[in-house]
Structure 1
Amino acid sequence: MKNLGILLVIVSFLISCDSGNNKRVLSGANGRINNLLIVMKNSEWQGEIGDELRKFIAEPVLGLPQPEAQFEVSQVPLESFGSMFKASRSILNIGIADKNSFTIATDVYASPQKIITITGENKEELIKEIQKNSSVIVSEFKKSDLRAIRKKILKEYWKPSTIETFKKQGFTLKIPKNYSKVEDNGNFVWYRYHLFGGNSMELISYTVPITSDDDENGNNIVAIRDTMGKKYIPGELEGSYMTTEEAYTPHIFEVKLDGKKAFETRGKWEIKGVFMAGPFLSYTVVDKPNNRLVVVEGFTYAPSINKRDYMFELEAILKTLKIN
């Protein structure tokens, strides 16, 4: 009987996902982005299975000044998984059952919602399933949250046709209407969202020609960034400007954006000569047909407070990039 509960949950998930054309009206999912509800036995959460989950669920987000886990986690046993918890945005079901399995379901009890269920025949098999699927687990929940936050913040956005740099350079980005223009000169665009207490979220974008293999292979990302920062992003004091923090080597990964080869860069910025700093996230897209790099970047200034969710929102915006 101990396996019956989780098996019934799995069956109900699969039935919900394959219920034919009879569409149900779902309530709105609750919970903030980057929050994860884990449904599993307390004893398993506190033991080796929980330890295996925490290895990647609680992994720090790259590029932030202070360590912040990529998910805020709540855990409940299956018997406490009532209607309030069922409306959570992101749910991870873990347990021992009659077979090893890994399933993903969407909009089961609420919308938008992502539910992942993992079972193993015993503790050892369950841990193997978790290890095998760890990257998929993170990716699925992150993609779901990105879609949810994009839907929320992009209900109103500046028409790209009204932004001179986008018109001239032939690419677009959906910038929410609550961001205000700082600069738009046809070659460089900069928008800002004012947070409380002088804090802010910033979006910038520009293009540079490809002049070498190093440009195309992502080896000059920091040098290009520092050149543009000196040219376009001044500090409060005369002669000060934005640069990449020298004491922190950025993390660079090859990715795809708008179907093209791109480089994701996560690091820290600082203002040369001024005590100001924070995290940045940029995407450098290799636009071969036009022999150029298209760069979109988000950074935030929010000292003494957590910045993970701000950077996540900027990521959602940056990934709307479209190159004509």
Structure 2
Amino acid sequence: MKKRQFVYMALAFLLLMGMSSCRKKSINNPLTVNSVGAPWELLVVMDKSDWEAPQGRALFEVLDADVPALPQSEPRFKISRCDNADFDGLLKPVRNILLVEISHIYSRPKIHVTEDMWANSQIVMRIVAPDNE
């Protein structure tokens, strides 16, 4: 009888400990790293030729526009850029990433937004288009 009571108490204790240790983030992979960078920093992954073309300059002007209603001039983002070929494991944990890919394999322009793709607290926006238009 005492053995059965001990087993029930041990199971109740383990169940209580298991339930109290659960958090909302426990669904995520515990091996995923935390994102790096400030909330206002943005990594644009885009080939240099596209970045220097008119569509790249237009994208830069939108991202670098001043935040409205501030007493001084402040850009929306601190922008960094790298080529698609240079985007590797070292840059994947950056907090905010904008992937731009222009290729004939796409039939129409699309925008995909993904959270926590390579790191926790990360936003990855992917823009794909068939051409520069």
Normalized against structure 2, the TM-score is what? 0.72
Deviations 1:264-312 (A, max 9, x none): xxxxxxxxxxxxxxxxxxxxxxxxxxxxxxxxxxxxxxxxxxxxxxxxx
Alignment of 1:281-296 (within 5 A): none
Supply the distance in 2 between the matched residues of 1:45 and 1:110 (Cα, whole angstroms): 26
Q: Which amino acid aligns with 1:46?
A: E
2:98 corresponding residue in structure 1: 92
Deviations 1:19-60 (A, max 9, x none): xxx953210100012110000101111111211212320110
Deviations 1:184-205 (A, max 9, x none): xxxxxxxxxxxxxxxxxxxxxx
1:103 corresponding residue in structure 2: 112
Deviations 1:48-91 (A, max 9, x none): 12112123201101122321111000000011112221000000
From 28, 40, 43, the counterpart of 2:34: 28
* Offset, 1:95: 1.6
1:8 corresponding residue in structure 2: none
Alignment of 1:157-306 (within 5 A): none
* Offset, 1:120: 0.8
The runs of 5 or more residues in structure 1 that have no matched partner are 1-21, 125-324
The question of 1:123 aligning with 2:132 is answered: yes
Q: Which amino acid aligns with 1:33?
A: P
SS of equivalent residue, structure 2 residue 59: helix
SS of equivalent residue, structure 1 residue 115: strand
Cα RMSD after superposing both structures: 1.5
From 18, 42, 54, the counterpart of 2:60: 54
The question of 1:77 aligning with 2:86 is answered: no
SS of equivalent residue, structure 1 residue 86: coil
Supply the distance in 1 between the matched residues of 2:68 and 2:89 (Cα, whole angstroms): 35
Supply the distance in 1 between the matched residues of 2:38 and 2:111 (Cα, whole angstroms): 25
Deviations 1:138-184 (A, max 9, x none): xxxxxxxxxxxxxxxxxxxxxxxxxxxxxxxxxxxxxxxxxxxxxxx
1:243 corresponding residue in structure 2: none
SS of equivalent residue, structure 1 residue 43: helix
Q: Which amino acid aligns with 2:122?
A: Q
Supply the distance in 1 between the matched residues of 2:120 and 2:28 (Cα, whole angstroms): 13
From 48, 63, 79, the counterpart of 1:42: 48
Supply the distance in 2 between the matched residues of 1:77 and 1:94 (Cα, whole angstroms): 10
* Offset, 1:101: 1.8
Supply the distance in 1 between the matched residues of 2:113 and 2:47 (Cα, whole angstroms): 20
Supply the distance in 1 between the matched residues of 2:73 and 2:33 (Cα, whole angstroms): 34
Supply the distance in 1 between the matched residues of 2:62 and 2:69 (Cα, whole angstroms): 16
Structure with bigger strand share is 1
Q: Which has the higher contact order (CA 8 A, sep 6+)?
A: 2
